[in-house]
Structures are given as structure tokens and as C-alpha cells.
Structure 1
Amino acid sequence: MHGVLLLDKALGLSSNQALQRAKWLLRADKAGHTGTLDPLASGLLPLCFGAATKFSQLQLDADKVYAATLRLGVRTSSGDAEGEVLERRPVACTPGQVQQVLARFLGPISQVPPMHSALKHQGRALYEYARAGLEVERAPRSVTIHALELLALHLHSPEPTLGLRVRCSKGTYIRTLAEDIGAALGCGAHLAALRRERSGGLVLERSLTLEQLEALPEGERLQALLPVEALLDGHERVTLDGDNAARFLTGLRRRGPWPQAERVAVYAEQDAQHALGQGPQPAPLLGSAHIQGGELIPGRLLSPIEIQQIQLQNQP
């Protein structure tokens, strides 16, 4: 089984629990996710099966879009709704001040990773130290906030909140962003809710919940998978003839009249598939590459067996 399942992960489930459930429903052997979502977060969790796992790093590195709700006036020990309340402050800011503060967080910013995170220190996750009441020094890291869209603002309600849509680079901690925005507003804040809407070119609108996947007849669940090349969104396309396709699959560089490109998806011509031991099928994906100095340099490659299995899987 090869492909990508866009899962709408429910609240309360860990990413691994969601993966194992989907793996069981699809009767899959090899599977992995493309970056965790906390149990208190919901939304898009792309799951990779079979050959798609070779390209999962592309989603780890991709920009993300989140819808976040910040609870203003309350700081917690974990930076989210799960932690103990550390401090309560009145919320005295105005909508204009909120807009001014949000503008300060656009572009490259520095973040200190939260203690309640899976980041490792001496082989242990930081959240393990946090649960033991220990604080570990963390080096700040640079991330980029590409866009901050104000979705809702309730400054005068009994529980003031701020709703944001955040488009950010990989490695951005939204709970840290929430705390930093709260500090800049002078009232403190924590992350009350988080939903991932996009990862690279993959969008939540095309996703399924585990309940929806389970409700499908078992014979139709495979149709819920996107093809492996869904992970190569934004890549330049290069198509090779039979001899070059076979050589490329062995890891050899190919020369051609191609412009420089960092991200390339490589396919075999339709009539080239006889060289791969297959009958007439749509042009198959061979793998990823980059182009430098007129050379097509292999990256992650599918095996001939994987290519054949994908072609069989895609037959009506």
C-alpha cells in the first residue's frame, strides 16, 4: 500500500495513536506521520504509507497554517489550557493595540522552545523534565511568521480571547507565540485551542476523520489515499526515457538541458515502462532530485518493486 492519507485528527488523540488506528483500518504495514500534533490540537495530520514515507521529510520542512485561539489574561505552566494557572491579569488593551502588537511578530522572530515540548535534551524529551518540575536551559531558535490574520477579538467578555490564523515556517511553536503575544499586550495569554489547516500544499478540506475512514467499506478505504506525488507539490517535473529512467533508478546522475532547480519530481515516459518490466500504464513517479549544472542528481528513489506495486494499486 502506497500513498498519503490526509487525516483530520481529533482532540485528545496523540499523533501516534491516530497513526496506529489508521494503519489498522487500512491493513497497512509501513506507515509514518509528517510531524506531530499535540493531543490538545486538532486538524490536518498527513499520514504516509509505503513508498510515501520516503518523502515525509518534505512535509516536516513545509510551511504550516494554523487557526489558534488565545485566552488573554491568564498564564499557565504549560502555555496551553492543560497547565496550571500561574497568573491572572486584567485585559486592558484596545483593538488598535492588538493590531500593533501582531505586526511586531511578522517576519523572522526568535523563540525559546517551551519546556512542554518533544524537543530532546540529553536523550529525553523536554516535557519529561517539565513533569518532574525541572527547568532546562533552551537556546532560542529563529522561525518566520509569514502572516497573522485576526479572526476574532473578544476583549470585554468574561473570558477574553483572540483568534488568529498563523502561517509560519517549520519549527514554530504556536503556544510560545501565544505567550509572547500575551506578554507584549501586557496581560499574558495561553493557547486555548489549535487547529492545523494546511501543511505545504496539503489542505484540511480534503481530509477525513478516523470515523469517516472507518465508515467506508473496507474495499473502498484505499481510495481515500492520495498518490505519493502529492508530497511533491511545488516540485519541477522532469520526465526520462527508458534508458535514462532505468539508470536514474540505480542512483546515477543524468545530463540534460534542464535549468537549475532545487526540488524536482522525476517520472518515466509512458513508453519507457517496458524498460522497468511493466505494461502500458500512466507515467510513474521515480523519485525526487535536484538539478545543478545540467545534471539531474537523484534524491529519494522508489524501487522498481514499489513502482510496480503503485501501478497495480492504481488499476481500476
Structure 2
Amino acid sequence: HLTISQIDAALRQLTGPQQMQRPPIFSALKRGGEPLYAKARRGEVVEVEERPIDVHAFDLISAADLLHGDEPLLRLHVECGSGTYVRSLVRDLGELLGCGAHVAQLRRLWVDPFREPRLWTLEALQELADRGERMLDACLLPIEAGMASWPGLRVSDAQAQRLARGQSVAGAASTPGSVALYDEAGRALGLGAVDEAGILRPQRLFTWAAALGQPASIAAKPLS
């Protein structure tokens, strides 16, 4: 039988930055422009390379069925970086323990910056929708919430128009890297990238970025 100390030791081996993980062949990763799962379904043998992942925490919550029952069930908690395959993480845990393991149930608690109180089940959304579509407004977050992980950069209307045309803007920032773009009023415009020379280039922009600073078009019907 496995012991708690054995499990904890294996979990520690799988915790930390730059852990090497081999993704499953049944995944959306592409090889030669084709998803691996398509090759796997045809029975092709594909060697999947290991790649680094970050596992911030991998802890045992409970092991009530560890000493009793034919199928021991562990409850685990994992905090990891993007690109981590949790099912592969559990597979590797089983290999370390020498008994094999697979995921029986997987529940995602949060994805930064969206924590659990901001997550809604389909059942809860349906219940709100049944009470009226306006009730769903309480579930919505502003677009800016999805851009909170990038450094913010405000641009003028003229700069926003240049970016919307695919043109670069010199001297907009001094620190290179990806940035979240906002207009002078703080409204989200999209994402950009600053190079080593401080030149800002557009990456993904919302359509309204092109309309900043433009005169409004008004259609008028003559009075009869």
C-alpha cells in the first residue's frame, strides 16, 4: 500500500519552476500543421517532445480511500502556469509512485485574474436568463479585466489612429514588451508590442480604435 509520505514526496518532485512535461498525444498541439489528436486517431505513432512548465503548488487534500477499497482515490490541489496538462501531471505522479494514475474528475477553480467568485456554471446562467436577459449583466466583466496582466499604456487619439492603420508609433514607451493599450479616457483599445528602440506596434486592436478622433457621421432626413 502507498503511504502519505510516499505521495507527498512524489508531489514535491513534480512541484517547482521549469518542470519538464511530455504533453499527451491526444492534444491540440500541432505537428506539421495538424493537431496531434488527428494523428493519434489514425493510429500514427508520434514522439511528443518534453517542454518546461511551472507548477507552483501540487498538494494532497485527502486520501480517504487510500487504505480501503480496490481503487484508491486521491484529492489533489494544483496551481500551475499556462501550458500545463493536468492529466499528464497526474500520469507522471502515478509513474513516480509505481502504480499508475489517471484523472477521475477535474475542476478548474480559477484562472488569473478571474477567481472563483467570478465563475458561473451553465445552470446558474440559465437560471438568471430565465428571469430576464438583463439579469445576465451582473455576470459580465469589462473588457479591461481580461487585459489586467499586461502593463498598461495610454495613447492619444492620433496615435490610436496610426496603430489602427497598422502603423508604428515612436517614443510611446521606453520598456520593451507586450502592453495593453488604452485611450486617453482609459478605454481598452487592444494589445501592442514595444521593441528595444521604444517603437510601439499594434498586435490586436478593437475596431473602435480607428474611430477615435474622427468626426461623427450623422444621417439627416429633410423635413417635408
By how many angstroms is 1:288 displaced? 0.9
- Name the counterpart of 2:217: none
In the alignment, structure 1 segments of 5+ residues that lack a partner are 1-91, 271-282, 309-316
Q: Larger % of strand: which?
A: 1
Q: 1:299 aligns to what SS in structure 2?
A: strand
Q: Does the 8 A contact of 1:110 with 1:143 survive in 2? A: yes
- Name the counterpart of 1:181: 93
Q: 1:298 and 1:235 mapped to 2: Cα distance?
A: 14
Q: 2:166 aligns to what SS in structure 1?
A: coil
- Name the counterpart of 1:18: none
CA-to-partner distance for each residue in 1:227-250, whole Å, 9 max, x for gaps? 222221221111122322332322
The one-letter code sitting in structure 1 at the alignment partner of 2:60 is L
The one-letter code sitting in structure 2 at the alignment partner of 1:110 is M
- Name the counterpart of 1:37: none
Give 1:259-270 correspondences, 5 Å limit.
259-270=174-185
Aligned pair partner of 2:199 in 289, 295, 308: 295
In the alignment, structure 2 segments of 5+ residues that lack a partner are 213-224
By how many angstroms is 1:108 displaced? 2.3
Could you say if the C-alpha distance between residues 239 and 128 of structure 1 is closer, same or farther in structure 2, counting changes exceeding 3 Å?
Answer: closer
Q: State whether structure 2 residue 126 is matched by structure 1 residue 214.
A: yes
Percent of pairs identical after alignment? 35
By how many angstroms is 1:129 displaced? 5.9
- Name the counterpart of 1:232: 147
- Name the counterpart of 1:149: 59
Q: State whether structure 2 residue 104 is matched by structure 1 residue 192.
A: yes
Aligned pair partner of 1:284 in 177, 187, 191: 187
By how many angstroms is 1:181 displaced? 0.7
Could you say if the C-alpha distance between residues 307 and 142 of structure 1 is closer, same or farther in structure 2, counting changes exceeding 3 Å?
Answer: farther
RMSD: 2.8
Aligned pair partner of 2:47 in 125, 138, 157: 138
By how many angstroms is 1:213 displaced? 1.6
| TM-score, normalised by the number of residues in structure 2 | 0.77
The one-letter code sitting in structure 2 at the alignment partner of 1:96 is S
Q: Does the 8 A contact of 2:165 with 2:210 survive in 1? A: no
By how many angstroms is 1:222 displaced? 4.0
Aligned pair partner of 1:112 in 10, 22, 28: 22
Q: State whether structure 2 residue 6 is matched by structure 1 residue 97.
A: yes
Greater Rg over alpha carbons, structure: 2
By how many angstroms is 1:206 displaced? 0.5
Q: 1:290 and 1:124 mapped to 2: Cα distance?
A: 29
Q: 1:123 and 1:260 mapped to 2: Cα distance?
A: 34
- Name the counterpart of 1:278: none
Structure with larger RCO (C-alpha < 8 A, sep 6+): 1
| TM-score, normalised by the number of residues in structure 1 | 0.56
